Structure 1
Amino acid sequence: MASFKIAQNATFKAEVEIPRVGFELIKVEFEFRYRDRKELSKYYDKWNAERDAAAKESMKDGATWEQATERQIALEVGQIKDVVVGWSFDEAFTDESITELVTTCVGAPAAVLDAYQAAYAVARRGN
């Protein structure tokens, strides 16, 4: 009988299909930080609260699209920093490159978070 440990590795890797305007999707390997169910729930609560606050701020009189976009970019940069520890882009994994990815590849944050969540879904199905 094969043996294995219950404890999860601190990180795991998954390919993410990054959408690019005018080009085909590119597959990029991301290294994600493992979170147990309790830790994950805290992050989802945090992200939902940040999203709600950004939405309320965006609805204020005089709010501009530019301000709303800046808030959304900040939220998405934070989300990526919360779950990703590295990637296989040519650019180093830095705050600046994360911001560049989120700013220039509009669909990238959703693709990264979807891949992260999908890794957990596959793990649930496999057990």
Structure 2
Amino acid sequence: MNIGQAAKHTGLSAKMIRYYEAIDLLPHAGRSESGYRQYSSSDLHRLAFIKRARDLGFSLEEVGRLLAMWQDKQRASADVKALAEQHIAALERKIAEMAALRDTLAELAATCQGNDRPDCPILQGLEHGTCCAGSP
């Protein structure tokens, strides 16, 4: 299967597939006589694994670790679980940060009259650094 077909099959772009090869998440593809990359069903399976991991928000480094654990049939499932739990904790921190940003912006928007007058608490909050969670 060529790169265009692999991209269509996996939902990844050809550029992304080449990038995953370049950073060694995917073994370098074999080449046809005319020089086109050729992907096996094993490559497609690996690309699907990478895509699902990325869709769950794992970093490229974490995906590399997951791939290594996936290939290592001697690894303990506790290692995989630990990585997943670390990722869950990071997601929870990001969710909390995003919620704080939403709440701050909602508060500023609620205090804005939204009329024809030029004074605006939203812009004042941005100007004075009082708009964002964790600001001084």
TM-score of the superposition, structure 1-length normalised? Answer: 0.29
Greater percentage in strand: 1
Tell me which structure has the larger Cα radius of gyration: 2
TM-score of the superposition, structure 2-length normalised? Answer: 0.28
Greater percentage in helix: 2
